[in-house]
Structure formats: C-alpha cells, structure tokens
Amino acid sequence: MRLITDIFAFCADETPKFNTISISGYHIREAGSTAAQEIAFTLGNGIEYVQAAVDAGLDVDEFAPQLSFFFNAHNNVLEEVAKFRAARRMWAQIMEERFGAENPKSKQLKFHTQTAGSTLTAQQIENNVVRVAYQALAAVLGGTQSLHTNGKDEALSLPTEQSVRTALRTQQILAHESGAADTIDPLAGSYYVESLTDGIEAEAFEILEEVDTRGGMLDAVKSQWVQRQIQDTAFERQREIEEGERVIVGVNEFRVEDDEPQMDLEEVSEEEEQAQIDRVQALRDDRDQEATDAALAGLRDACRGDQNVMPHIVDAVKAYATVGEICDVMREEFGEYKPGQ
C-alpha cells in the first residue's frame, strides 16, 4: 500500500494526465470467479487503495481522476455488458458516498478489457477466434476504453504472429465495420440488459458488504476468504463441465476424433533465451556500477523512512538498475506477501 500511495502522490504532481494504476479484476475472473465477484472484489481493491491514499493525506479529487481498472470479458455477451455497466454505476456511487468526491472525473470508471484466456480451448483452436470476437463485442458494447484480444492459440503457446494479426483484425473489424462503437451504451433500455445490470449490481454490493464486515479487502485476502469464494465458484464450474451441465464446444460436446492443431505453434528457443540473458549481462557490464549502487542505496533509505519512493525508483532506472534489482530492494525492506501470514 505504501508503494501505491507514493505513486498516487508522485504522479499527481509530475504526470497529472497519466493513469497511475490499473486496478485489476482480470486475474480474479481467470481464477474462476463469477461476473459479480469479479467487479465486487476489484472495486473492493479500489476502495482499499483510495482509503490508503486519503489516510496518507491525499485529496481524493487530486488523484482519483487518474485511477483506471482492468476487467475480463467472458463468453456470455449480455451478462458481460451488464457487468461493465454495473461496475460504472457502482464506482460512481462509491466515490461520491464513501469518499465525498466532487470532481465528476473522480467518479468515472475508466477501464481496459482483455478477452478471457481461461475460456480458450486446446481442442479445435479455430473456435477460439469466434470466442474472442464475441468477448470483444461484449467489451465494446459495455463501454470499454481500450481492449486486448487474445490469440487463438494461447491455450497452447505464445501466439504466433499470424494469430496476433487475426486478434488485432478482430478489433479493427469491430471498430470500423460493425457499428458497435458508434454510440455510447448501445444496449441501454433493453429490458433484459437493464435487469441483468440491476441484478449484478445488487449481488456485487452484497459481496462488498460482506467484505466490509471482514475488515475490508486487505483483511479478507489475508484471511483467505476471498480466495475461498473464488475457488468454490471455480470448482462448481468445473463440475458442471465434467458432468455435461455446461457445454464447452469442442471439449465436452461437438468433439472430433482427430483434433491435432493444424498450425505451427510459437516456440522460444534456447538460443533466444540465452540472447536475452546476454543482453541483460551486457547492460550490467556497460553501466556505471557506482551510480547504480548509489541509486539503489537511495531507494533503500527511502523505503526505510517516509520519503516518497518514486523519485528514487526513477533515479535507479536512469542508472540502469534492472527491474529485478529494484524489486529486490523493496522485497528486502518491505517483505514479501505469503498466503496465510
């Protein structure tokens, strides 16, 4: 939390147009959560960050306009649209009622969306192109500000250049040919979408109320309650798939006998791995080691005191300290989170 509040303060002064943080729910959904759990736990994390910044003396309307979020887009198109709509409404209410935000931009939920890697199948991988397209459509209809579309072969490997191009073209067709991005909130007024939005919002607020009774997201995560909620949902979803209650095309229904991938998969060779190692070593050999050591020592002193650590991180980067070296200093000074401790 110290690093988060230091980033908020530093960027408010130095980079006021830069989005300081991407508060992520993507990993929560990938781990198996429901749509309502995804936005509840993500907004719960947002509440923790904002509260920590306010407690550190920051003005909510100075840093909140630069907060951003990162959500997942799953296969149920209308449910996902409703999820995004509910998240926007909830954040506006949270920022106004909990934190007294007055700047309209402080209440806006800006978010990036990535299509759901966990829905991609190793079987019949061409089907993944369709999955990604529908997920991307849901994100656009739900009002995302930016979008990442996965490659069709990511269940098996890093995507090939051809797969990446197809994923990119999916976005471009949506943007330039489909008309889906021509108006804001295109499904507003649909009885079903409005009903779904209300239902997901109500369920997510119930989850947030439970989080509050447990002392907030930080305590709820430390006690493993959040993880258990997600694990229980993931277990139930897997049971439904294995027992045929939930159809996954090409996996438990509509299978084919010979299902070997009809394409070359991306591979990272040992030579490429060694080349990257050599590049990092060359950087270390060529840099001014005394300057690097001094910058890292300055960062360590800032971590031990109450100075903002961000200027010292910038100094370390300018001195060609690696990300690993910078993180090692902070691990040594702040410790490293381990579940259950």
On whether both 202 and 311 belong to a single domain, the answer is: no
pLDDT at 257: 83
On whether both 145 and 233 belong to a single domain, the answer is: yes
On whether both 302 and 230 belong to a single domain, the answer is: no
On whether both 236 and 291 belong to a single domain, the answer is: no
- Does residue 288 lie within any of the structural domains? yes
On whether both 183 and 310 belong to a single domain, the answer is: no
On whether both 72 and 176 belong to a single domain, the answer is: yes
- Does residue 68 lie within any of the structural domains? yes
Quick check: 83 and 26 in contact, CB under 8 A? no
CA 85 to centroid of chain Cα atoms: 17
Residues in CB range of 132: below 8 A, 6 or more apart:
115, 120, 149, 150, 152, 167, 170
- Does residue 252 lie within any of the structural domains? no
On whether both 232 and 291 belong to a single domain, the answer is: no
The position carrying tokens 């930016």 is 146
On whether both 196 and 303 belong to a single domain, the answer is: no
Q: What is the pLDDT along the chain (341 residues), one digit of tens a residue?
A: 999 999 999 999 999 999 999 999 999 999 999 999 999 999 999 999 999 999 999 999 999 999 999 999 999 999 999 999 999 999 999 999 999 999 999 999 999 999 999 999 999 999 999 999 999 999 999 999 999 999 999 999 999 999 999 999 999 999 999 999 999 999 999 999 999 999 999 999 999 999 999 999 999 999 999 999 999 999 999 999 999 999 999 999 999 987 776 678 999 999 999 999 999 999 999 999 999 999 999 999 999 999 999 999 999 999 999 999 999 999 999 999 887 66
Number of compact structural domains in the chain: 2
* Burial 33-52, CB ≥16 within 10 A → b, else e: bbbbbbbbbbbbbbbbbbbb
On whether both 144 and 292 belong to a single domain, the answer is: no
Return d(Cα 101, Cα 51) in angstroms, integer: 12
Return d(Cα 298, Cα 300) in angstroms, integer: 5
On whether both 314 and 230 belong to a single domain, the answer is: no
Return d(Cα 44, Cα 49) in angstroms, integer: 9
- Does residue 227 lie within any of the structural domains? yes
Strand arrangement of the beta sheet that strand 146-148 belongs to: 21-24, 67-73, 111-115, 146-148
pLDDT at 263: 76
CATH code of the domain in which 60 resides: 3.20.20.240
Q: Residue 292: how many CB atoms within 10 A of its CB?
A: 19
Q: Strand, helix or coil at 33?
A: coil
Please name every residue paired with 72 in a beta bridge, in sequence order, or none if there are none.
114
Enclosing domain of residue 128: 2-242
- Does residue 213 lie within any of the structural domains? yes
Quick check: 25 and 36 in contact, CB under 8 A? no
Six-digit token pair at 231? 């694990």
On whether both 190 and 99 belong to a single domain, the answer is: yes
What is the DSSP track for 232-258?
Answer: HHHHHHHHHHHTTSS--BTTTBS--S-
On whether both 7 and 63 belong to a single domain, the answer is: yes
